[in-house]
Structure 1
Amino acid sequence: MSKPLRFIHPLHSLLPTEVEGFDSLAELALDLRWTWNHATDEVWRQLDPKLWNLTHNPWVVLQTVSRDQIERLMADAAFRKTVDKLVKIKRNAADSMTWFQQNHSQSHLSNVAYFSMEFMLSEALPIYSGGLGNVAGDQLKAASDLGVPVVGVGLLYQQGYFRQMIDKNGAQQALFPYNDPGQLPITPLRQANGEWLRLEISLPGYSVWLRAWQAQVGRVKLFLLDSNDAANFPAHRGITSELYGGGLELRLAQELLLGIGGWRLLAALGIQPEVCHLNEGHAAFAVLERARSFMQESGLPFEAALEITRAGNIFTTHTAVAAGFDRFDPILMQKYLGGYAEQELGITLPELLALGQQNPNDPSESFNMAYLAIRGSGAVNGVSRLHGEVSRHIFAPLFPRWPEEEVPVGHVTNGVHTPSWDSKLADDFWTGACGKDRWLGTVETLEQDMHGVDDAQLWQLRTEARKVLVKFARERLASQWAVTGEPQEECARARLLFDPDVLTLGFARRFATYKRPNLLLHDPERLLRLLTDPQRPVQLILA
């Protein structure tokens, strides 16, 4: 007699949640604090070293590894002690007094909403492209460390930005791997009754349902929206498919979902931000939705509501050329926002378009998202002193008869969240010299400790780091060639490239014109001498 059919439940229901200690592993895996806490790396490496090295995604490791492996390791006293210690450190960090509480104890600031088209938090959550997402992700992490009350708002892309692969001939191959939400370190946002939090947003002729997700970033939450809901038409499910993909109409739809949908998500969660920070102009529609929300509360007309709410909006521009801002044709704006302007904001389409135009009397002028962001924000900044000057020049036409140096655009120099970017080797070294909490204060306090480091120790750190880099470059190049079908002997040759004992210079940036990669060839003869000097060899790694 044949055995009865056995129905297989979804993957998440088969996780060994009853195994003692599994909840602790899940707690660690689903908090992106692990992206800047090197101590957890060894836990995932012990569970599945190969998968960890390939993905650097603890949630994938935890869902993939066998029940027997989890039980075996959790029964190991040393491993269990490590896990319990890491969970305790994580919880203590979440409950401890923060820099913000100590230095701004009288502040009434309870919530800053940080809107961005992309966030770079980890390769385990690939919803980013480059520098814009880099800054956004690092700001969330820094806010977590410092205790600044921030929530992030973004989009969850099914494919994200393309993955670059370089074949043996140096040609770029663009790949679009699918992001399975079940294998990303995120969780569905659910209402009190257990129902998945979903929003209905009106677009021309149809509504789009948006699913809400949450990523935990230490003390900070990042909320993400995606349109890949079964209730949507297939074409509309793909609105949040690719980051910066498709044409202008798709881009406009994405930015509507981010700005209007993002603000409505905060309202659905009962979050009332005092400050709305726009990371570039992509999210500028949030200023309209914020004003609309205030109109409902106060009964004021749109113009007054915008004037009041703009005081709590901040716009950070990263763009160095005027052509880099998103612009939309008035006809497209009529299609997507005509009804919203008249029915929700109580204004005409020309009045709405005027917020994004230099010359409102020109009906053919495109709607500029950066112009909307500036007119809807109480403060505007570039990302460096020089960029502030460039931005004042770019936006000067909006302020006729103003001296260019008085155009109201300041600057806040970009920084990085150092714990995310230092290696375990460097972290251990500087922890010994300056303490684990060295980045929670001003860098001036570190100078004395850093000057006390022995030169020989510092050189040894650089030597070891160079060896790690060369090893990684060899393995990465060999794997790239293997994927493109190169013979095994060629792949083996890639593992012999570079010398771990030679001065190694790295250039890891996108080859965009404004990043000035041509400076590498500014003095070709000198570059040739540097690269061919047998007494002082130099090697370059371009990523």
Structure 2
Amino acid sequence: MDPYFYTEKPKYRPHDIEDASEFYDIIERSSLTHQLSNSRPYIYWTMEIYDKANGIKGGGGLGVLAADTRRVAEKLDVPFVVVTPFYRSESHQKITNLAQEEFSETVSPQDYGFEYIDDVSISSRGFPDASLSIFKKTLGSTQFVTISEPNFGQLYEGEGSGDHRLYQEVALGFGGYKALKLLGIKPAVIQLNETATIFAALARLDELCANGMNLYEAIVYVRKHTLYTNHTLLQAAEPEFHRSQFEKLVLPNIKSNAVRCWLMEQFRNDRLRPNLLAIELTEAKNGVSKLHARVANFRDRNNDKVKFHAITNGIDLETWVLPEILQLYTESGIIDKFGLPTDNFHTKIDTLTASDLRAMHRAGRAALNRVLQHRKDQYNRPVQIPENALLFDFKRRFANYKRPYMPFTNPKALRQILVDYNAHYILAGKVHQGDTVMYQRLLEILQLVDADPILKERVHYIQDYDEELGRALAVGSNIAINVPEVGWEACGTSWEKDIANLKLLISTSDGGVADIKPIACLEVSGKNYDEEVRSLYLNMHKAARIMQNDSLLEKLTHRQLKAYLPIISGARMMKDYLHFLFPKR
């Protein structure tokens, strides 16, 4: 655990908000002070949350987003409860002979200040009831409510359509709902962060019907109080379960015969994708960028295309942005105390000088090197990047559609860029367990680097990617590379952290980057992969030259920030959700 990232007091913190009504008044939703309260909060259900400072380590972007959403809610004094598993085994990565290996570490809720509440149980056919321990942690206006048991397993353990995965999802939904009842918490609204959390809505439906409400009235009630947030582009990519799995793991937890019969009617050919339940049980549905909401291909029971509202992901600025930069934003009048852009932020951004930008880059590089002192590269050695060196980075989950291999397609071209501009390249990101294709791709990249003396000196793969390293690279490198295959990235937030930290961005027009048309950064484009590769190298040259020229640096940085700051703001994201869920009367 890095002392800089987790325990050093920030040099700057935004002004405290004296009362929730301040924010609600700003967003013209003053009635929310009556609709949301500690006993009737906003409930956010998620299979993962990436908040290592609070002992919970997720798997990637979805978990980071969940943690940022809670942090933003706390800063804005929004009554907000996260219901999530506490995984007692967390996965880590190491590199041995240039190949990825995984190992696990055991963690405990009590080690991070979670309070044990009680146990609840869930049932399955042919097995004893599973006892789930409920833990709670309060942080300002927000709470964690977690479920945990020794055999729960790691995040996303087993096959996506396997029994253990379904058990985890049922445990979170039905067990988490029982936990809220135990704590006397009644949801004002439920947000389902991805399909895996749908059993929370099913548990609520079952309780309403078991208490005497008509099935169809209960479905309408659940729909009107539940939001389904989708992060997946294709319905076919979602898991699918067999009727026998539901009979074994889901039905024993349903008290209402009407709900049981309705659920079984949803199957076709004895198969069911839980996303169909999410579509049926939610009225409000959103994608996490404008492009995602437009192109996500989901169909309901009648084969009609599902319409998703667009609410682009945002980030918690205080967590991910260098304190010196946050101070600069506030003192320059670019953001207000809520983390929202001011009315005249465009004009204020123009006051940022090249001298300001370079000072921030130096401070960020020092912060990065403090983190790198205790991290290891592919040779199990620490790395330090010279202050005067240019630094490119690629930092995100090592998935095929994100194309981490693209800059290495032409080693000669990459070598020339690194030499010509005294540049280094940091690659960071773990391969998900079981992804044999990307295991091999990572090995091939590291072998290619190892065989070339210049690349070996200037390309560094930093092991065990996590939020600490992601934040350090966001503040400490100069140029970020984001090249997902267009049409595959739902949103992404790494690029947001880069722009907020005054870096240059090289990107394809995908995910949240594509909220602005044309995109306001250096665009990688082409009719095929080879053309995209050439475009990437041209933009790497262009970015390096911009970094050498004060006027060009100011121009591109201003352009990026003016276009994307309203999108990046986590307070803007929370405002958009509150507007969507609680329309103005």
TM-score by length of 1: 0.69
Change (3 A) 1:446 1:438: farther
Cα distance in 2 between the residues matched to 1:200 and 1:94: 40
Corresponding position of 1:338: 251
CA contact (8 A) 1:281 1:326 kept: no
Deviations 1:152-178 (A, max 9, x none): 111111113x112224x3221212111
Change (3 A) 1:250 1:94: farther
Partner Cα separation in structure 1 for residue 386 and residue 4 of structure 2: 24
After superposition, give the CA deviation of every residue in 1:422-478 in whole Å (9 maximum; x if it has no partner).
Answer: 233434444443488544334655333333233212211112312432453354127
Matches within 5 A, 1:319-330: 319-330=232-243
Q: 2:122 is matched with which residue: 187, 201, 216?
A: 201
8 Å contact kept, 1:259–1:286: yes
Matched, 1:53 2:41: no
2:226 to 304, 310, 313: 313
- Give yes or no for contact 1:112–1:149 (8 Å, CA) kept in 2: yes
2:155 match: 243
The aligned runs of 1:106-505 (5 Å cut-off) are 106-107=31-32, 108-110=34-36, 111-160=41-90, 162-167=91-96, 169-189=97-117, 197-204=118-125, 205-227=127-149, 237-239=150-152, 241-247=153-159, 248-297=162-211, 299-341=212-254, 343-348=255-260, 351-355=262-266, 357=267, 360=268, 362-363=269-270, 365=271, 367-391=272-296, 393=297, 395-396=298-299, 398-400=301-303, 402=304, 404=305, 407-434=306-333, 437-442=336-341, 445-477=344-376, 491=381, 494-495=382-383, 498-505=385-392
Question: What residue is the counterpart of 2:458 in the other structure?
Answer: none
Equivalent residues of 2:335, 2:342 under 8 A apart:
no
Matched AA of 2:88: Q
* Bigger Rg over Cα: 1
What displacement does 1:524 show? Answer: 6.0
> d(CA) in 2 for partners of 1:526 and 1:481?
24
Distance 2:344 2:81 in 1: 29
1:410 Cα deviation from its structure 2 partner: 2.2
CA shift, 1:332, in A, is 1.1
Amino acid at match of 2:30: S
Separation in structure 1 between the aligned mates of residue 249 and residue 404 of structure 2, nearest angstrom: 39
Distance of aligned partners of 1:242 and 1:469 in 2 relative to their CA distance in 1, 3 Å threshold: same
Q: Structure 2: how far apart are the matches of 1:91 and 1:57?
A: 20
Are 2:76 and 2:338, in contact at CA under 8 Å, matched by a contact in 1? Answer: no
> More deviation in 150-159 or 197-206?
197-206
Q: Which has the higher contact order (CA 8 A, sep 6+)?
A: 2
Q: Deviations over 1:96-134 (max 9, x none)?
A: 754126542223422221100011223441331111111
Alignment partner of 1:507: what SS?
A: strand
1:65 corresponding residue in structure 2 = none
Tell me the secondary structure at the aligned position of residue 477 of structure 1. Answer: coil
Contact kept? 2:335, 2:341, Cα under 8 Å: no
Question: For residues 124 and 526 of structure 1, what CA distance do their matches in structure 2 show?
Answer: 43
Instruction: In structure 1, give the amino acid aligned to 2:319.
Output: S
Counterparts of 1:271 and 1:305, CA distance in 2: 19
Alignment-derived partner of residue 24 in structure 2: 100
Mapped partners of 2:285, 2:82: distance in 1: 19
What count of residue pairs does the alignment treat as equivalent? 418
Q: Is the 1:287–1:306 Cα contact (8 Å) retained in structure 2?
A: no
Change in 2 beyond 3 A, CA 1:421/1:388: same
For residues 236-279 of structure 1, the C-alpha deviation after alignment (integer angstroms, 9 at most, x for no partner) is x312x311113421111111111111112212222221211100
Question: Which residue pairs with 2:544 in the alignment?
Answer: none
- Rounded Cα–Cα distance in structure 2 between residues aligned with 1:215 and 1:324: 34
Structure 1's 98 and 144: CA in aligned 2 closer, same or farther, altered over 3 A? farther
Q: For 1:215 and 1:101, how far apart are their aligned partners in 2?
A: 28
- Counterpart of 1:527 in structure 2 is 414
Q: For the residues of structure 2 that align with 1:521 and 1:105, how far apart are their CA atoms?
A: 53
Judge which range, 105-114 or 311-320, deviates more: 105-114
Give the Cα–Cα distance (whole angstroms) in 1 for the partners of residues 179 and 318 of structure 2: 31
Q: Aligned-residue CA RMSD in angstroms?
A: 3.1
TM-score where L is the length of structure 2: 0.65
Mapped to 1, the partners of 2:180 and 2:340 lie a distance apart of: 31
Letter in 2 for 1:106: S
Q: Summarize the Cα distance change of 1:125–1:525 in structure 2 as closer, same or farther, 3 Å threshold.
A: same
